[in-house]
Amino acid sequence: MPDKDKMSVEEILAACRRMDGGGSAKSSGDQPTEGDASAQSQGASSAGATEAPATPPPAGPKKKPSEMSVEEILAAARAEKRGGAAAPQESAESSEAASESAQPAAPAAPAKKPSEMSVAEILAAARAEKAKSQASKPAAAAKPKVAPAAKPKPKPKPAAKPASTTSGPLDTASILAAARKPTKRGPVSKEEAARAGKETPAARTAPKVPPMPQKPEFLKPAAKKRESAETRRGFFASLTGIAFGSAMAVGFVSLAVTHLLWVLGFARYMFPNILIEPPSKFKVGFPDVIGPGQVVTKFKARFGVWIVRNEYEGVDQIYALRSVCTHLGCTPNWLEAEQKFKCPCHGSGFYKSGINFEGPAPRPLERYAIRIADDGQLEVDKSRKFQQELGQWSDPQSYVPV
Ligand code: FES
């Protein structure tokens, strides 16, 4: 056996394992002592487990490995082993605490040779190295922790969109989702392209058509006229369509017009046929107003009569001559210059007294009855006529003596 003071840690551990294996092989034939040894080892391990987090590093340097028993060395090794296994499961605080606890030992490590270091120091140095390596790879250590959280992330992909717009840091899943997102857009319409200020592929390949020249000014009124003519045509066409477009409309209009005519005819039938004539008796003024030999023609148009003051058969009298030609019924005219009544139809002539003297007239003009009314005026009655050829002019009702 080499000297225990000059053994390295590996040699000590190998020796311990050999001793442990030999003890167990040795104790296989001795059951009570094995139970005691295992109990002791368990107790030592449990004691070591309980003591390991509390005083592993400071307890080491108190005893030299050469002075430690095999059980103590084993307990220390197990405690170190547990501490090393528990180290990756501990939180960042425990690792930091371990690194902090290892930090004072780290500078001391190079000062001592491994052959001079105790097991606890060597283990502390190894722990510090491990903590350092873990601290240098935080991403690698965090990966298994983040991975399960990142797995369900594909679903909230749309939520990564606003994150890309923000200036904050992006996680790997968001960056990958943004990189995988298709940036090429599908075909767009012309309106969309015009709105976006881009050209569609169809517009890019289409031949460039020059813009239409502006319409000359002299053509614009003609177009307006055409528009107005079209408007008129449309208006008349609509009217024609309304009036004659439908056979039913034509039938109903005809029926309505026929009924209206029937109603008007019945109303006219209900009124008698009456000739509205001027009254047969009318006044022609005072007798002293009419001068000797005067013919008053102002009542010819309204009443068809001349008022004449003339001397007939030695009597100055006023009489009323009927203004109707005895030939065929025309209306003669009084010719003041010729002092006669002249018929324009066939040229019959009559004196102031009414006696015919020329033309085809077969007899003298007729007289109406005349008298002095109650008010002193001359009143003519057309209901009564007096004919000279019958000797009726001598009737006192046929004249008024002056
Ligand atoms: Fe007067 Fe014939 S009607 S002359």
Q: pLDDT grade, residue 21 (50/70/90)?
A: low
Type of residue at 355: I
Cα dihedral across residues 319, 322, 325, 326: positive or negative: negative
pLDDT score, position 273: 83
- Distance from Cα 380 to the centre of ligand 1, integer Å: 25
The 10s digit of each residue's pLDDT in 195-228 is 766 666 777 777 778 888 887 777 776 666 677 7
Least confident of 77-81, 294-298, 311-315, 397-401: 77-81
Kindly state the average pLDDT of the residues 219-247. Answer: 72
- Distance from Cα 329 to the centre of ligand 1, integer Å: 7
CA atoms lying within 13 Å on the CB side of residue 58: 5
Does residue 57 sit in helix, strand or coil? Answer: helix
What are the structural domains, with CATH classification, of the chain? 9-56+63-179 (no CATH), 281-401 (2.102.10.10)
pLDDT score, position 157: 53
pLDDT score, position 48: 40
CB 285 within 8 A of CB 377: yes
For ligand 1, whether the C-beta of 348 sits within 6 Å is yes
Q: Which residue has better confidence, 156 or 285?
A: 285
Label the pairing between strands 340-342 and 333-335: antiparallel
For ligand 1, whether the C-beta of 365 sits within 6 Å is no
Q: Which residue has better confidence, 167 or 8?
A: 8
DSSP string spanning 64-101? -TTTS-HHHHHHHHHHHHHHHHHTTTS-HHHHHHHHHH
Label the pairing between strands 400-401 and 378-386: unpaired
Comparing CA positions, the residue from 171, 168, 167 lying closest to residue 151 is 171
- Percent of the chain past pLDDT 70, that is, above it, reads 62
For ligand 1, whether the C-beta of 324 sits within 6 Å is no
Kindly state the average pLDDT of the residues 379-394. Answer: 94
- Distance from Cα 267 to the centre of ligand 1, integer Å: 42
Assign residue 292 a region: left if phi > 0, alpha if psi is -120 to 50, beta otherwise?
beta
pLDDT for 33 beyond 60: no
Residue owning tokens 């298709």? 182
pLDDT for 345 beyond 50: yes
- Distance from Cα 85 to the centre of ligand 1, integer Å: 163
The 10s digit of each residue's pLDDT in 134-180 is 877 655 545 545 445 545 555 555 544 444 444 556 678 888 888 77
- Distance from Cα 275 to the centre of ligand 1, integer Å: 26
Index of the ligand 1 atom closest to the CA of residue 329: 3
pLDDT for 330 beyond 80: yes
For ligand 1, whether the C-beta of 86 sits within 6 Å is no
- Distance from Cα 332 to the centre of ligand 1, integer Å: 8
| Count of all residues that appear for the chain in the document | 402
331 contacts: CB under 8 Å, gap ≥ 6: 300, 304, 323, 324, 325, 343, 344
Q: pLDDT grade, residue 185 (50/70/90)?
A: low
Counting beta carbons within 10 angstroms of the beta carbon of residue 220, is it exposed (0 to 12), middle (13 to 18) or buried (19 or more)? Answer: exposed
Index of the ligand 1 atom closest to the CA of residue 344: 1
- Distance from Cα 345 to the centre of ligand 1, integer Å: 5
Index of the ligand 1 atom closest to the CA of residue 360: 4
pLDDT score, position 371: 94
Kindly state the average pLDDT of the residues 305-321. Answer: 93
DSSP state of 393: G
For ligand 1, whether the C-beta of 160 sits within 6 Å is no
Comparing CA positions, the residue from 165, 143, 13, 33 lying closest to residue 78 is 13
The mean pLDDT value of the chain amounts to 74
Choose which residue among 343, 356, 358, 363 to substitute to test ligand 1 binding: the one with the highest number of ligand atoms within 8 A of its C-beta.
343
Q: What is the value of pTM for the model shown?
A: 0.37
Comparing CA positions, the residue from 324, 319, 313, 334 lying closest to residue 399 is 319
For ligand 1, whether the C-beta of 119 sits within 6 Å is no
Give kind and range of the element (H or E) at residue 53. Answer: none
DSSP string spanning 280-294? SEEEEE-GGGSPTT-
- Percent of the chain past pLDDT 90, that is, above it, reads 33
pLDDT score, position 291: 92
pLDDT score, position 11: 80
Give kind and range of the element (H or E) at residue 39. Answer: helix 31-51
The 10s digit of each residue's pLDDT in 64-121 is 656 777 778 778 778 876 765 444 444 444 444 444 444 444 444 455 665 677 777 8
Residue owning tokens 């599908």? 186
